[in-house]
Every structure is written in C-alpha cells, then in structure tokens.
Amino acid sequence: MSAFIDDLSSTQLYTAIVAATCGLCYVLMGPGDVLNLPSPSSLNLQGNAKETSFSTFKRKQQPKWYLFKYINMGVIAMFLCSVAIFLMNASSYIHNGAMTQFLTGWSLCLCYFFGFLGVFFVHDEVSKEGEEATEDDTNAERKEGKIVSPPRVKKVVHPPAASAPVCSDPASFQPTASAPFNKEMIKELSDDVIADLVLQNKLKDHELEKRLDPFRAVTVRRIIASAKLAQVNNGNTSILNNLPQSPSLDYSKVYGANCEIVVGYLPLPVGMVGPLTLNNESVYVPMATTEGCLVASTNRGAKAICQGGGAHARVVKDGITRAPCVRMATAMDAADLKVWCETPSNFQLLKQAFESTTSFGKLLECTATVAGKNVYLRLVCFAGDAMGMNMVSKGSLKVIDVLQETFPSLQLVALSGNMCTDKKAAATNWLHGRGKSVVVEAIIPKQVVKTTLKTTVEALVHVNINKNLIGSAMAGALGGFNAHASNIVTAIFLATGQDPAQNVESSNCITLMEETPEGDLWISCTMPSIEVGTVGGGTTLAAQSACLEMIGCKGGSRDQPGKNAQRLAQVVAAATMAGELSLLSALAANTLVQAHMTHNRKSTK
C-alpha cells in the first residue's frame, strides 16, 4: 500500500482524496426516499383562505445526521493517534519513506474536518431549537429505549364550520342565492376544483347533492373530509380509504368474529360531524344513521360549541363490570361470604387470581349484594382499550374458583347475575357507573345562541328544566334526563364497531343548562356508563376501523393502555352534548317539526 501511494503523482493522489470525500458525502447525505404529502395549501381550512389546491409536494428523507457523531469521534481519535505515533519516532519515519503515508492520512482527516466536522454540531443545535418549539405539540415519548409514536402527535384546532346543514333553521331550507356558479357550470368542474371551492367557502358543503348528483357529491365530500382529517392526523390522507364508498364487505373478517349464517349485509350511510373542538383540539365524529336531520343537527351543535371556544371532557371512572350470581347453603353463609369478600386482605387474593388471566385487566372492586341465599358479586375491572366483557368474564370464573376453595358449599348459578348490568336499564349503572364515566361541559356565548341556534339562553334553560328534568322525573325515567342522547350514542357506536345493544346503558345521561352571570349559556352532560373499546369485536372490520382512525383512536394505545378507549368515550359525550344543544334549541324555537318534515321525508316515486 505504501509503495502504491509513493508511485502516485500529486494530481492522482488529490483526485483519489476528492473521490473518497465525494463517496463519503453520498453515503451520508444520500438522496433518500421521496415521500408524497398533501401540500399546505390543500389543507388551508381557514374561512378566509384565498387559495386552495390539492397538488402535492415532495419532501426528501433527511440525511443520516446521527452518523456524524460517531464518525467525528473516530476521525479525531485517528488523527490524534497518528500525530502521537509520528512524534514518538519522527526521525525514522522521515528517513524511511513512511512520511508519505502520514501526510496522506492527515490530508484525508483535514478534508473531513473542513467538510463535515461542524455538520453534526450545527444540526444538533437546530434540532434542539426545533424540539423546544414543538415540545408542547407532540405526544411522542421514549419508553424503555424505544420511540413510541401515538397516532396523534400535534393538536390542531379548526375554526367553526363556515356553513353547517342546519336543518332546524328555516332559512337553510332555501337554496343559496349568492353562489357565483350555476348548476351546469359546477358539473363541468373537476372533483378537486369543486372541493377547493367548498374549502374556500365559495360553495356550501350541504348543497353538493343539489348541484351535482348524490354519487358524485359523496366523492367530492370525501376529498374535502380527507383534507380536513389530514390536518388533525399528521398529514395522513388515507384515513377514509377503508370506509367503503360503494357496497363492499370482506366476509373473511366477519367469519368467526362478528356474525353467523351470513347472507349479506346492510349498508348504512355515514355522516361526519365537525370540527368539534374538544379539550383544545379539533375532532371529526363519524355517525352511521338512517334518521334524516340527525347528523345535520349534531353538526349545528358542534359549530356552536366551537364558536364558544370548545368543550372540555374528562373520564372520572373507568371499569367494566360482571356480577356472577352464586348460591350458598344458608343465608348466614351468604352473609359470611359478603364480609369475607369485602375484607381488604381477602380482596387481594381475588385480585391476584383475576389478574392471572389477563395481561391488561386489573380488578378494582368486588361488591357483594346478598338476597337470601344468593350473593351477587359485582366485579369491576379496568380493561385497557378493550370494551372488556370477555376479559372480565374470564377473570370472574377464576375468582369463583378461589371462593369455592374457601366456601365449598358455594355454587355458581350464572356467570352474569344481571347486577352487572349489561344491556338493560339499571340504577346500579346510573349510580356506580359502568365502562367509562364521563362529564363534559361548554359555554355558549349568548350571541352564538341567537345567531347559530336561533333561540335565546333563557328559552333554552326553560325548556331543559321542564322537559329533561321535570318531564323525565314525572315519567319515572332511569338515566334518561336528556333529550335524545341515545340517538348520537347509537350512531357513533354503529360507525365505530361498538356493540349497538349497549346503547341502553351507554345512553344514560343528564343534561344540565344554566345562564351564566354574563348572560351566556353553560351546558353539561354527565354520562356514567359509556361502554366502548377500540380493540376487538366490530372494531377490527375495515370500515369501522377507518371511523376510529378518523377520531384518532384506532387500536390500542401503545404508550398508555386505555387512552384510546377513553378518548372515544369523551368524543361520544361531547357529540351527545352537541346533539342535545341543537335539538333543545329547535324545541325552544319551535322548528323541530318543520325540520323533520323537510329533511326526513322523501318521495318514494
């Protein structure tokens, strides 16, 4: 090698050094993969947007900056070592011809120092500035040396919808006269251009069916929805890809999981409510329904909530329940069993047995209720992101095994003794909760009540007291102190793959309204038993999974088990409040019948 280098001319040696430098530059700074993302202009959703386009831009993959840290250390160490070696025996190296090798190595080191040494340090400072700027906007965390990236990294708040299909507003029944395009002109435009017009508020979203046709209107609206959803889902424009636009169903996903003796399926239209500002970020809510006016009305409530600054929701309790019915030899034995189960040290034995059957489940409570010889053991279990019925049922059987060792006379009558209580109206769910217990509130300025909801704060409070509170009490309602919570709950359940039969207890809700000292409207919904999950069951189907991704809670949370299911519960509560707000406003303004006669009646001819 030494002889080869000695034979090279200065020009050849310099060319070799430059070639090596360029090669190193290509490896480190390589061209990267091209990633297509929606352009910022295509996602400019502000009401005063002057220009919107659905073109895409190309962003190159970042160079491998992190490698410079290790290369810098290696090159510096090599340079210092070579200098030290040379100085220890400089005279011999000068006379035996080895000087050329040292000069070549030092030249390469100097080339690297001039070209690359400072790159890592400069990039490191830029990265620190970027991290400080976005620290409050990111949820990505490092856990056990691995980067965990939740589906939603940055909170985005969209302005209230510039136009909402307000079916209870008589003025909305009339076509918009101010639109600068006639029907035939609109039809000649491309889908992307029409979507641009909607995003620029030059064309009303809910008029697409009238100006185009129902099929093409859905295609255009999906472009609009994808653009909006991309802004609140890290630029992901494919969220709606698995939400069918034309009839389709993967029956292989259904077999052994969702239905038996399958002969077909029923397509349900899915509407999208939003933006709805919840906990300082915008969310869009999918609702599957055949009830005309429901999505439009809920969207009006969402608009009013956004105009008031948004809603805030919190999960105050999280635990699914199962209540096995067991029978003892005597009523005294039943009483002994109750006392034993509620002794803290004994509960720890039950907890240990229960949790041996699951990776995520945690037994939180065991409450025993005695009825003669019968004992009903209401077990409360934290189930992570699953709705949890299978999990709590499996754990309950293990609890029974432990109890039978202590109480040989104990007989299991039924794994579910109806004190759970599942899919039935029950005071125990209303009082003690089941699933997620959520409270949500918002303040609606009096001017918004007047202009968007077309009524007054005083009228709303009056209707709510006399209808939702007094009227429900006179009817002997159980958990039904609301206008139509089950409407919204069921629509979201169908869209997101929940068990629709659990809307019975999940719709437990009390809606409260007050006039604030400033004359604005305060509204809250308290829902003690929302039973939802983001893994298992119907959530595995493609369309339902797409709707969960629309909300930002698809699958299980990798950094905090239960986080996604809790988010879904909060969205259900907030959307319910939006629906309550709009319907009560229609009742207060006496426009409900007119709205439904206009939007929920269609000729069959």
In which band, very low, low, confident or very high, does the pLDDT at 58 lie, cut at 50, 70 and 90? very low
pLDDT at 35 over 70: no
CATH number of the domain where residue 408 is located: 3.30.70.420
**218 vs 279 pLDDT, higher one:** 279
- Residues 330, 399, single domain; the answer is yes
Shared domain for 373 and 501, answered yes or no, is no
Mean pLDDT of the chain: 82
Q: Is residue 461 part of a domain?
A: yes
Q: Which of 235-239, 375-379, 591-595 has the lowest mean pLDDT?
A: 591-595
Q: What's the average model confidence in pLDDT over 395-414?
A: 96
What is the pLDDT, as a whole number, of residue 265? 83
Higher-confidence residue: 187 or 3?
Answer: 187
For the purposes of burial, counting CB atoms within 10 Å of the CB of 374, is it exposed (0-12), middle (13-18) or buried (19 or more)? middle
Angle among Cα 342, 348, 350 to the nearest 5 degrees reads 80
Give mean pLDDT, residues 501-519.
97
Known catalytic residue: 423? yes
pLDDT category of residue 74 using cuts at 50, 70 and 90 = confident
pLDDT at 216: 87
> Among residues 281, 291, 365, 520, which one is catalytic?
291
Residue 526 backbone phi and psi in degrees, to 5 = -110, 120
What residue numbers bound the domain in which 403 lies? 324-419
Residues 446 and 575 in one domain: yes
The two beta strands, 374-382 and 312-322, are antiparallel
458 and 537 part of one domain:
yes
Both 297 and 354 in a single domain?
Answer: no
Per-residue pLDDT of 77-86, as tens digits, reads 777 887 777 7
Domain membership of residue 166 (yes or no) is: no
Domain boundary residue, one of 110, 133, 156: 133
Domain assignment of residue 411, yes or no: yes
pLDDT band, very low/low/confident/very high, at 18 (cuts 50, 70, 90): low
pLDDT of residue 47: 35
Q: What are phi and psi of 315, to 5 degrees?
A: -90, 120
Q: Token pair of 309, please?
A: 């600054």
Q: Is the pTM of this model over 0.75?
A: no
Last residue of some domain: 419, 449, 479?
419
In this structure, what DSSP letter does residue 363 have? Answer: E
Name every residue whose Cβ is closer than 8 Å to that of residue 172 and which is 6 or more positions away in sequence.
Answer: 165, 166
C-alpha–C-alpha distance, residues 79 and 76, integer Å? 5
At 600 the pLDDT is: 60
DSSP string, 210-238: HHS-HHHHHHHHHHHHHHHHHHHTTT---
Q: Which of 152-156, 232-236, 270-274 has the lowest mean pLDDT?
A: 152-156
Q: Can you give the pLDDT at residue 409?
A: 94
Q: How large is the average pLDDT for residues 182-207?
A: 86
- CATH number of the domain enclosing 545: 3.90.770.10
Is 496 among the domain residues?
yes
CB of 364 closer than 8 Å to CB of 383: no
User: Quick one: 449 and 301 in the same domain?
Assistant: yes
Co-location of 500 and 584 in the same domain: yes
**Amino acid identity for residue 412 in this structure:** L
Over 46-106, what HEC string results? CCCCCCCCCCEEEEECCCCCHHHHHHHHHHHHHHHHHHHHHHHCHHHHHHCCCHHHHHHHH
**Structure-block tokens of residue 464:** 């709510």
275 preceded by a cis bond (ω within 30 of 0) = yes
Q: Is residue 451 part of a domain?
A: yes
pLDDT of 477 strictly over 80: yes
Residues 297 and 340 in one domain: no
pLDDT at 452: 96
Residues 355 and 297 in one domain: no
Residues in the chain: 605
pLDDT at 177: 46
Q: How far is CA 558 from the centre of its chain?
A: 13
Catalytic one of 333, 499, 514, 515:
499
pLDDT at residue 49 above 50? Answer: no
Distances (CA, A) of 4 to 7, 20, 86, 165: 5, 17, 21, 81
**Cβ contact 71:27 at 8 Å:** no
Predicted pLDDT at 243: 84
Kindly name the residue from 312, 373, 394, 596 that is annotated as catalytic. Answer: 596
Give the pLDDT confidence score for residue 23 in this predicted structure. Answer: 67
- Structure confidence at residue 461 (pLDDT): 97
* pLDDT beyond 60 at 403: yes
- C-alpha distances out from residue 54 to 8, 35, 37, 192, Å: 57, 16, 10, 7
Higher pLDDT, 337 or 95: 337
Poorest-pLDDT segment among 144-153, 213-222, 398-407, 552-561: 144-153
Range in 260-274, 278-292, 530-544 the model is least confident about: 260-274
pLDDT at 601: 60
What pLDDT shows up at residue 286? 97
- pLDDT beyond 90 at 406: yes
pLDDT of residue 42: 43
Has residue 50 got a pLDDT over 80? no
Q: Which helix (H) or strand (E) holds 93?
A: helix 90-95
Q: Is 390 found in the same domain as 505?
A: no
* Catalytic, out of 154, 362, 394, 423: 423
If one compares 50 and 31, the residue with the highest pLDDT of the two is 31
Mean pLDDT to the nearest integer, 486-509: 97
Q: Is 596 a catalytic residue?
A: yes
- The answer as to whether 374 is a domain residue is yes
The verdict on residue 539 lying in a domain is: yes
Q: What is the largest CA-CA distance in the chain?
A: 111
**What's the domain count of the chain?**
3
Checking if the pLDDT of 180 tops 90, the result is no
Final residue before a domain boundary, out of 133, 167, 191: 133
pLDDT winner (highest mean) among 48-57, 223-232, 588-597: 223-232
Q: Are residues 399 and 303 in the same domain?
A: no
Same-domain pairing of 329 and 469: no
Residue 256 located in a structural domain: no
